Structure 1
Amino acid sequence: MQISRLGRTVGLAAAVGALGVAGCGGSASTDSPAATGSTGGTAKAAGAPSGTLVVDQSFVDKGIDPGHEFTPTNNMLVKAMYDTLVTFEPGKTDPVPSLAESWKGTKDAKSFTFTLRDGAKFSDGTPVTSADVVFSLNRLVNLQSSGAFLLDGVTVTAPDDKTVVVKSKTSNPALLRILATPPTSILNSKVLKAHGGTDAKDANKADKAEAYLQTASAGSGPYVLGAAQQNQQYTLNANPKYWGEAKGYPKVVVRNMAAPTQLLNVQRGSNEIALDLSAQQAGTLKSNGALQVTTDASVNIFDVEANMDSGVSPTGDAAVRKAIRLALDYDGYAKLSGAGAVQAPGVIPSQFLGALPQSDAVKQDLDAAKQALGGKSGIKVKLSYPSDATPNGVSFASVAQKVKSDLGKIGIDVSLDGRPAVTFLKNYAAGKNQMSVSYWGPDYPDPNDYLVYAPGAPGTSRANDNKYTKADAPDLAALGEKAGRTLDDAERGSLFQELQRGFNKDSPYFPLFQPAQAIVGSKNLTNVVLDPTYTLNIPAVGGN
């Protein structure tokens, strides 16, 4: 799960769409109870819209079983039908109450105790209990599917019907944000068991509920599944037994549409949202008074990555890495994506806790780049990239061609090696690529997700793929470990900034840009916001 978002969610063949804009990273309480949220509500709030909301997206659809899914499309759908212990408001990254009305964490961030709210019910009317939470989270882990890594080293127990204790083997200040992600959704354990579901250790072989969950929902969220045609269309209907305050449309249709079709549909329809238009396509609609158009920077990052092994690549030489860093035309890369794209000052996107300010961004300096080479000549490097992927509408080939041009200005001869994503990722994971154009999108909106960049990061990660070991940068390795276990968000953010400044001095990573992303919706809609975790928070979309 830690190679790259390209490999995790693209299915090794097609690119993931933009994930959206996050709010500022912040701090959820780790040593005092959280604020208590609403403990009940009506099936439909006063002033809730009527009619049907239509959402067009280019699907990456692995199905809507929370235990198996982990794509932007399925995150959006699962969020609408299921609740998690905590959640995020549209476009934000601070945990707020959901099924848990409060929580308390230990000072070492190894244990969190959640108190479930009264009145929460599943769509069949049965109460949500701690047993359902334990079942759902254990099932996620034991299915060993896409999202299981989120709870690595985590155990879940229930002292009573209203209390859940989540423990981590190691300090994990990111755990609260992880528990707001759709794979950690809470399912009706009785319904799942009746349809072949299990949370046993052998769930990866014994669980038979995935097929059922593609035809019916078993959650407590604002919507229930009406109809499902995988990779084509999903219909969601308002849950009449929803425990909270339903503010969204009574019916939602989510359709798989290519971007050109989305461009036409959003102009012709009403109560319509298009999620996959390029910045250029969205720009053509800004004068349309019937539409709202938002174009800004994605939380995804394009970068160049070098191999630290001198036996594999000339980029094992620190002087060559310094020259490359200074030779890249960072402003030019952002322009490849269009209005709204920005240079990436570090590996953490600008919307998250720990991001570097633009004042820390590396600037092109060709004279300094040539000086860094110290007269070395005849340097040749092969630049690999996935030739069949265009995340956020940006072609890897166009980025690679520009890298070749930039480095050619300082005498580095770059040969381009475009391959199908499946081949590119195989070589990438094996550490065979000399240099790569790559891409990263967040698994969850917390800086700990970016510790895979740290020297010697454990598991299958960018650190190992690029042969970046603790011996290469022991101080940065120690800094990454400290940042990952620090509890206070202000201190943690500062540590992650310090870590990235170290990367910008010398590392195998060359962050390029956060591509532009766009969301277009009918003018009357509210909360039309691309979301870093849910793609689009469907239950929050209202109308007037």
Structure 2
Amino acid sequence: MLPQRVARLRRLALIGLAGGLAVAMSACASERGSGGGANDTFVFGAAGAPKNFDPIFNDDGESFRPARQMFDTLVTYKPGTTELEGGLATAWTPSSDGKSWTFTLRQGVKFHDGTPFNAAAVCFNFDRWYNMKGAAAQSQMIYYGDVFEGFAKNEGDASGQPVYKSCEAKDDHTAVINLNKAKGAFPDAFGLTSLSISSPDALKKYNADNVTQSGESFAYPAYATDHPTGTGPFKFDSFDKTNNTITLVRNDDYWGPKAKVAKLIFKIIPDENARKQELAAGTIDGYDFPSPADYSSLESSGNKVLIRPAFNILYLGINQKNNPKLADVRVRQAIEYAINKEQLAKNKLPAGAYPQDQFLPNNVPGYTQAVEKHAYDVAKAKQLLADAGATGTTLNFYVPTEVTRPYMPNPVDIGAAVADDLKAAGFTVNVVQEPWNGGYKDDVQKAGKQDIHLLGWTGDYADAGNFIGTFFGRQKAEFGFNNPQIFDALSNADKQVDPGAKAKAYEQASVLISQYVPAVPLTSSPPAIVVKKNVNGLVASPLTDERFYTVSKG
């Protein structure tokens, strides 16, 4: 803002030099938060409420959004890209066999409670995750489970051999993570928000692992609800559930560039149209996932619509366990042939969306043209159903409501279009709508109540395993199938440290998946984020990994 303001002042010849500089300096001071005005606060319209604020217990974007402002990870991603850069670590080096990683840690960093960040704190966090048990280990530790595959003591659904072995604090600024086997997801996976580093003192003080379970519900301790303590550019202030607002304040002791606003507020507004109205009314400064149909009107009103690169997958899940007909690959193929993905991308997704024939965006190593393709062909779908004796098969189709996701701007409309296509091919479709935060994800991913369902994924980093490995790397209630050939192919790919060998292995796995059709890839699309015209500095991320400390208001 300073160069623009100074340029204007220079054009005002009647204003003295000293007066001009004073005006410019005071304006910038206001933007940095010392003036106490409206420009000190950035209010963002969030699409949903977080489950809690302890990153390890979360797996969704609306929980990660505030967490990313309060916590740091060992490595992170360059703004606007999927490329790695230093976070709490300034350097990271693997051993020759890929079974250990040595991190050189940033010096002079403190947690929000004033305690020092050091190698002992890193090891405390990694040991904490590894030793989780009981309800805590079962409570949404999806990312940890996918990356590290098991715990010191596996319970419930956890059954894998742990990848993590130990952590050594060589000195205050050197931490070594030892693994039981090499894993191709590293080092990128060390940047997962779930693997954010918390203050050991705060974790102990607020009994962070005391998670309790009642049926399918979990209750979280004070650390997760009221005292999240990281090293990030913002600190937790409050979560007002009456007014649906989360308030963070600037961390003046942050090790990096200080936040340009003194206060960051997330206002939870689940309805996209309501978010748009609040932006127009000036009660929020920006919001996520504007409707593609509104891009032009938002821009003509003077707002900035920032388009992210496409880095996601929308898919139609198929649960083979519920319906015997779905165990027949011909029926699953018929489902894919029945769906007009081209029209879906054109009519229901943002400009730039494209139909998918595999479960990887086309900019991720492992994407391949060799997959078996089942392009839109209603006659072929009908014939396959007839051959399988499955014409008229009823599908209970679960569709989420009260949610907007990067890959799914309007799930009800998308679900209606898919249902119409399936009916035209000879299926009987029973649409079941459920609120996203009202049981939908539990019903489809844990209980497996559905025959088919809408869901998707935004990549956390540029690794094929973060997509197809997450979806199909092991038996899951969501899909209800057991295919050791696919599981083994994905496990083999995940072991590859050499980038070329890893890409080749994932290409082979993608071909197997396309032949088996455990689910139907639908589209990849570029979601947007919108801010008012006076908001500067926000960098749209393909990972939806926006950091708000760079934001200023002028």
TM range (shorter): 0.7 to 0.9
Shift of 1:163: 1.7
Unaligned runs of 5+ in 1: 1-44
Contact 1:442 1:449 (8 Å CA) reproduced: no
**Bigger CA radius of gyration:** 2
SS state at 1:380 partner: coil
Indicate the residue corresponding to 1:285 in structure 2: 298
Separation in structure 2 between the aligned mates of residue 224 and residue 234 of structure 1, nearest angstrom = 11
Indicate the residue corresponding to 1:160 in structure 2: 171
Deviations, residues 297-316 of structure 1 (Å, cap 9, x unaligned):
7544332234556x933333
Contact 2:89 2:106 (8 Å CA) reproduced: yes
RMSD: 3.6
Within 5 Å, give how 1:131-146 maps onto structure 2: 131-141=120-130, 142=132, 143-144=136-137, 145-146=139-140
Q: 1:260 aligns with which of 267, 270, 273?
A: 273
TM-score relative to the length of structure 1: 0.77
SS state at 1:364 partner: coil
Classify 1:188/1:324 alpha carbon distance in 2 versus 1 (closer, same or farther; 3 Å). Answer: closer
Separation in structure 1 between the aligned mates of residue 542 and residue 193 of structure 2, nearest angstrom = 12
Separation in structure 2 between the aligned mates of residue 428 and residue 75 of structure 1, nearest angstrom = 19
Unaligned runs of 5+ in 2: 1-27, 34-39, 151-161, 213-218
Separation in structure 1 between the aligned mates of residue 122 and residue 330 of structure 2, nearest angstrom = 53
Shift of 1:321: 3.4
Q: 1:449 aligns with which of 452, 463, 466?
A: 466
Deviations, residues 111-153 of structure 1 (Å, cap 9, x unaligned):
2111112222223444311111122233344242323425442
Classify 1:321/1:496 alpha carbon distance in 2 versus 1 (closer, same or farther; 3 Å). Answer: same
Indicate the residue corresponding to 2:330 in structure 1: 319
Separation in structure 1 between the aligned mates of residue 378 and residue 470 of structure 2, nearest angstrom = 27
Separation in structure 1 between the aligned mates of residue 45 and residue 441 of structure 2, nearest angstrom = 30
> In the alignment, residue 88 of structure 1 is paired with which amino acid?
Y
Indicate the residue corresponding to 2:519 in structure 1: 509
Separation in structure 1 between the aligned mates of residue 306 and residue 53 of structure 2, nearest angstrom = 28
Deviations, residues 505-524 of structure 1 (Å, cap 9, x unaligned):
34222111235632111234
Within 5 Å, give how 1:225-264 maps onto structure 2: 225-230=236-241, 232-246=244-258, 248-257=260-269, 258-264=271-277
Deviations, residues 189-248 of structure 1 (Å, cap 9, x unaligned):
23443x2446xxx7557xx99415544452221122233324711222221211222254
Q: 1:414 aligns with which of 425, 428, 435?
A: 428
Contact 1:401 1:416 (8 Å CA) reproduced: no
Shift of 1:431: 5.8
Shift of 1:293: 0.9
Shift of 1:375: 5.7
Within 5 Å, give how 1:428-467 maps onto structure 2: 429=446, 433=450, 435-442=451-458, 444-445=460-461, 446-452=463-469, 457-460=473-476, 462=478, 465-467=479-481
> In the alignment, residue 249 of structure 1 is paired with which amino acid?
V
Indicate the residue corresponding to 1:28 in structure 2: none
Separation in structure 2 between the aligned mates of residue 427 and residue 250 of structure 1, nearest angstrom = 41
> In the alignment, residue 117 of structure 1 is paired with which amino acid?
R
Shift of 1:103: 1.0
RCO greater where, 1 or 2, for CA within 8 Å and sep 6 or more?
1
Separation in structure 1 between the aligned mates of residue 278 and residue 92 of structure 2, nearest angstrom = 44
Contact 1:314 1:379 (8 Å CA) reproduced: no
> In the alignment, residue 232 of structure 2 is paired with which amino acid?
G
Shift of 1:104: 0.9
Separation in structure 2 between the aligned mates of residue 374 and residue 259 of structure 1, nearest angstrom = 42
> In the alignment, residue 53 of structure 1 is paired with which amino acid?
F
Separation in structure 1 between the aligned mates of residue 128 and residue 449 of structure 2, nearest angstrom = 36
Indicate the residue corresponding to 2:502 in structure 1: 492
Q: Does 1:483 align with 2:493?
A: yes
SS state at 2:124 partner: helix
Contact 1:297 1:342 (8 Å CA) reproduced: no
Within 5 Å, give how 1:25-424 maps onto structure 2: 49-50=32-33, 51-141=40-130, 142=132, 143-144=136-137, 145-147=139-141, 148-149=144-145, 150-151=147-148, 152=150, 153=162, 154=164, 155-193=166-204, 195-197=205-207, 204=211, 210-212=221-223, 214-230=225-241, 232-246=244-258, 248-257=260-269, 258-269=271-282, 272-288=285-301, 290-295=302-307, 299-308=311-320, 312-334=323-345, 335-356=347-368, 362-369=374-381, 379-389=391-401, 390-392=403-405, 394=409, 396-410=411-425, 412-418=426-432, 420=434, 422=439
Separation in structure 1 between the aligned mates of residue 470 and residue 116 of structure 2, nearest angstrom = 43
Identity of aligned residues (%): 22
TM-score relative to the length of structure 2: 0.76
**Which runs of 4 or more aligned residues in structure 1 lie more than 6 Å from their structure 2 counterparts after TM superposition?**
45-48, 357-361
Contact 1:158 1:164 (8 Å CA) reproduced: yes
SS state at 2:72 partner: coil
Separation in structure 2 between the aligned mates of residue 453 and residue 73 of structure 1, nearest angstrom = 19
Deviations, residues 420-454 of structure 1 (Å, cap 9, x unaligned):
46478547656664x40331224732322334477
Contact 1:344 1:512 (8 Å CA) reproduced: yes
Classify 1:401/1:204 alpha carbon distance in 2 versus 1 (closer, same or farther; 3 Å). Answer: closer
Contact 1:122 1:220 (8 Å CA) reproduced: yes
Classify 1:415/1:82 alpha carbon distance in 2 versus 1 (closer, same or farther; 3 Å). Answer: closer
Contact 1:385 1:424 (8 Å CA) reproduced: no
Contact 1:60 1:71 (8 Å CA) reproduced: no
> In the alignment, residue 284 of structure 1 is paired with which amino acid?
S
Classify 1:160/1:249 alpha carbon distance in 2 versus 1 (closer, same or farther; 3 Å). Answer: same
Separation in structure 2 between the aligned mates of residue 254 and residue 453 of structure 1, nearest angstrom = 29
